């Protein structure tokens, strides 16, 4: 009987082989270009050194780890191409990122679009040469000497910051780069590659350091997959919330006011009002109490909360008011605690649920600001719940139900859920962290929700659940969060009177459903490509006239719709009706009412309706049209 020496798992399928040679052959046949041994990714060739008593996972492009190795190898080839075309270039870092890779270069002049074309062409030539990736290990001193002689100051700086005495260098086709690895077996493993763009990036993200040139690219194992990805990127460009924000007159950012600060235009403001009204109404139904709090507070408050110690890098410099230091608020929680402490609380009063649409301010470097998605001032749909320990589990279940209801109403029905555990810097006892983490975990499992553990990504005061919604293009966005906090009740001496008449310490839950209103709005714009559902859209009906003689009756129709709470606008411009219809379509207005001679003669009993999709409806009576619109708005379809 043959003794099985190596067990393999490739894309969740199990295999058994009798030798390292057979195993490597099978891995290549199944599309694996690296392996995972004892939780560590390694080159495919490492199979000969792998222990025989463990399971070896073959890494293909289907796995996250496999994609990272594949695209990191493409970044190496990018650097090789730049070395051949731009000998004066100096090299920084080139990691894989979601959906692609980048490499940072120090070059005398910025790369041009023509440069990118030439670099991509040279990459394809290097891939065709199919030189192997060869791993070489050397002492840190040897590597410093090697890269020092090459004049690679960025590599030597990286080496000087490492603690490891042994480092690895990967060589391919005569080009060597400092890298932890692993890489694919050879350059020819990369089948389809595309360079996307170039941008400036400060070395190590420090705006005081030199601005480098960052080339972005992507790579796939098949040209057809690359083609699909490029089509997706084109669709993403069309849906870019900054582009649609201008076209639909939703919001703007004015540099005279300040970067990262949003101006909501009338169209955007009416959507925001609709979102806020819905949010407030549903919170009142769910037994929350609404609050408003100031935009700043004394610095001592943030020292008590721990933000000054743990969050200072995201806060602005304090200001002095009558010799007392004040800080613009990065969070709402201390204010909610102050409201809770304004009166005596009994165990019978708990849980106490406070909610606020509170505007906060956080320092973000200019290089990371991005439209509505990354800003310096934003409104958080914040809530804080003060509960007894025996109420925590049920409260988290209620929050989960509430969160998914809100997300579903806005059109998000697909999401990923993560349970984030204790970070390196934290406050509180290990026992408290364990209790809070278990409460979150138990609630998720009770609701039957699938989740992943996100190690070390909790906030400094407690573990959390994060929910990332998936938009219509399948992209994941961080929105909702639920955080258990034992720390602030202790720091602020928050209590309630227990059944025994003695002071007890409540547990605090921080909770946001949409997260930032600005960011959530940006996600909504891209999710719907600006064609919002009727209940959200700023203009729900356009009333269009064919000729000037129809204006008076058309105005009566628009007024009647507005009296019923429907957002109707009039277009009586001296233009052809076809042009007006196209204007409404460009503005993504859901319904247009077209008024001509017949509609006027019928006196509102036979209105012609056109949907933004181009579908014609009707004839409708004004009453029937109103009922149709109100029902669609009510059901938020």
Is 333 considered catalytic here? yes
Report yes or no: 356 and 385 within 8 Å, Cβ to Cβ.
Answer: no
Question: Which of these, 273, 245, 266, 250, lies nearest to 535 by C-alpha position?
Answer: 273
Which residue in the list 213, 380, 391, 483 is annotated as catalytic? 380
Measured CA distances, 614 to 123, 217, 490, 512 (Å): 46, 38, 60, 38
Give catalytic status of residue 30 as yes or no.
no
Give dist(CA 518, CA 513) in Å, integer.
13
382 is annotated as an active-site residue:
yes
CA–CA separation, 1 and 152 (whole Å)? 56
Distance (Å, whole) CA 476 – CA 527: 11
Catalytic residue among 57, 155, 307, 464: 464
Name the catalytic one among 122, 229, 510, 527: 510
Relative to beta strand 100-106, strand 90-91 is antiparallel
Packed helices 392-409 and 266-285: angle between N→C axes, nearest 10 degrees? 150
Closest to 535 measured CA to CA, from 418, 439, 410 = 410
Greatest CA separation for the chain: 96
Angle at CA 369, nearest 5°, toward 366 and 370? Answer: 150
Do 213 and 205 touch, CB atoms closer than 8 A?
Answer: no
For residues 458 and 27, give the distance between their C-alpha atoms in angstroms, rounded to a whole number: 37
**Which one from 80, 214, 239, 333 is the annotated catalytic residue?**
333
The DSSP bridge partners found for residue 153 are none
Q: Supply φ then ψ for residue 58, to 5 degrees.
A: -80, 130
| Percent of residues in the chain assigned helix, strand, coil, to nearest 5 | 40, 30, 30
> How many CB atoms sit inside 10 A of residue 476's CB?
14
Q: CA nearest 607: which of 622, 626, 597, 592?
A: 622
Q: What is the DSSP letter of 614?
A: S
Sign of the dihedral through C-alpha 306, 310, 314, 320 = positive
Question: What is the C-alpha to C-alpha distance for residues 395 and 388, in angstroms, rounded to an integer?
Answer: 10
Catalytic residue of the set 362, 374, 550, 610: 362
CA 368 to chain centre: 13
Q: What is the DSSP letter of 616?
A: E
What does DSSP say about strands 211-220 and 319-321: parallel, antiparallel, or unpaired?
unpaired
Phi then psi dihedrals of residue 249, to 5 deg: 55, 55
Scan for tokens 């601005």, then name that residue.
Answer: 211
DSSP 31: T
Q: Say which of 382, 466, 485, 542 is annotated catalytic.
A: 382
In residues, how long is the chain?
637
In the residue annotation, 281 being an active-site residue is answered as no
For 523, the token pair is 């996600």
**DSSP state for residue 346 in the 8-state scheme:** B
Q: Which of 72, 122, 272, 384 does the annotation list as catalytic?
A: 384
Cβ-based neighbour number of residue 130 at 10 Å: 14
Measure the CA–CA gap between 588 and 244, rounded to whole angstroms. Answer: 11
Catalytic residue list contains 510: yes
Sheet strand arrangement including 607-611: 568-571, 541-545, 591-595, 607-611, 616-620
Would residue 229 show up in a list of annotated catalytic residues for this protein?
no
Place of tokens 């946001």: 512
Catalytic-residue membership of 464:
yes
Annotated catalytic residues are: 333, 362, 380, 382, 384, 464, 510
């Amino acid at each position: 009987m043959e003794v099985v020496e190596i067990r393999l798992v490739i894309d969740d399928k199990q295999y058994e082989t009798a030798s390292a040679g057979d195993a490597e052959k099978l891995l290549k046949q199944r599309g694996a270009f690296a392996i995972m041994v004892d939780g560590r990714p390694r080159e495919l060739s490492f199979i000969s050194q792998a222990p025989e008593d463990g399971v070896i996972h073959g890494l293909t492009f289907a796995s996250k780890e496999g994609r990272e190795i594949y695209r990191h190898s493409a970044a190496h080839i990018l650097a090789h191409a730049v070395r051949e075309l731009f000998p004066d270039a100096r090299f920084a870092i080139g990691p894989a990122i979601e959906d692609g890779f980048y490499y940072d270069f120090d070059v005398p002049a910025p790369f041009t679009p023509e440069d990118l074309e030439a670099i991509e062409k040279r990459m394809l030539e290097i891939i065709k040469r199919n030189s192997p990736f060869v791993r070489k290990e050397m002492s840190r001193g040897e590597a410093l000497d090697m890269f020092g002689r090459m004049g690679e100051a960025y590599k030597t700086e990286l080496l000087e910051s490492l603690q490891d005495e042994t480092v690895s260098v990967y060589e391919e086709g005569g080009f060597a780069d400092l890298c932890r690895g692993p890489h694919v077996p050879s350059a020819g493993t990369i089948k389809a590659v595309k360079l996307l763009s170039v941008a400036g990036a400060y070395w190590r993200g420090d705006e005081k350091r030199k601005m480098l040139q960052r080339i972005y690219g992507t790579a796939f194992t098949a040209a057809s997959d690359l083609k699909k990805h490029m089509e997706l990127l084109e669709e993403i460009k069309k849906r870019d919330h900054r582009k649609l924000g201008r076209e639909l007159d939703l919001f703007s950012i004015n540099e005279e006011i300040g970067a990262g600060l949003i101006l909501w235009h009338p169209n955007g403001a009416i959507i925001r009002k609709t979102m806020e009204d819905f949010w407030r109404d549903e919170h009142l139904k769910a037994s929350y109490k609404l609050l408003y709090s100031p935009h700043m507070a004394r610095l001592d408050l943030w020292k008590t909360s721990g933000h000054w110690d743990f969050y200072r890098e995201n806060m602005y410099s304090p200001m002095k008011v009558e010799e007392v230091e004040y800080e613009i608020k990065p969070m709402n929680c201390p204010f909610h605690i102050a409201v809770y402490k304004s009166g005596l609380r009994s165990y019978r009063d708990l849980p106490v649920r406070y909610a606020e649409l509170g505007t906060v301010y956080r320092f973000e470097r200019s290089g990371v600001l991005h439209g509505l998605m990354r800003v310096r001032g934003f409104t958080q749909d914040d809530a804080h719940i003060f509960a007894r320990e025996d109420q925590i589990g049920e409260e988290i279940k209620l929050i989960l139900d509430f969160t998914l209801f809100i997300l579903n109403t806005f059109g998000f029905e697909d999401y990923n859920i993560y349970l984030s555990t204790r970070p390196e810097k934290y406050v509180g006892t290990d026992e408290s962290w364990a209790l809070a983490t278990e409460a979150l975990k138990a609630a998720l499992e009770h609701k039957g929700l699938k989740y992943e553990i996100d190690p070390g990504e909790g906030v400094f005061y407690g573990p959390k659940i994060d929910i990332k919604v998936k938009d219509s293009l399948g992209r994941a966005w961080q929105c909702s969060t639920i955080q258990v906090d034992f720390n602030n009740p202790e720091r602020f001496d928050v209590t309630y009177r227990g059944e025994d008449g003695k002071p007890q310490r409540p547990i605090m839950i921080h909770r946001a459903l949409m997260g930032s209103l600005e960011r959530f709005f940006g996600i909504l714009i891209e999710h719907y490509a600006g064609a919002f559902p009727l209940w959200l859209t700023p203009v729900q009906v356009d009333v269009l006239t064919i000729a000037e003689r129809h204006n008076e009756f058309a105005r009566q129709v628009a007024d009647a719709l507005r009296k019923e709470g429907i957002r109707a606008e009039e277009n009586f411009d001296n233009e052809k009706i076809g042009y007006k219809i196209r204007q409404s379509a460009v503005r993504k207005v859901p319904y247009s009412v077209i008024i001509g001679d017949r509609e006027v003669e019928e006196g509102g009993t036979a209105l012609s309706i056109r949907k933004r999709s181009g579908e014609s409806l009707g004839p409708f009576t004004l009453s029937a049209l109103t009922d149709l619109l109100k029902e669609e708005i009510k059901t938020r379809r």
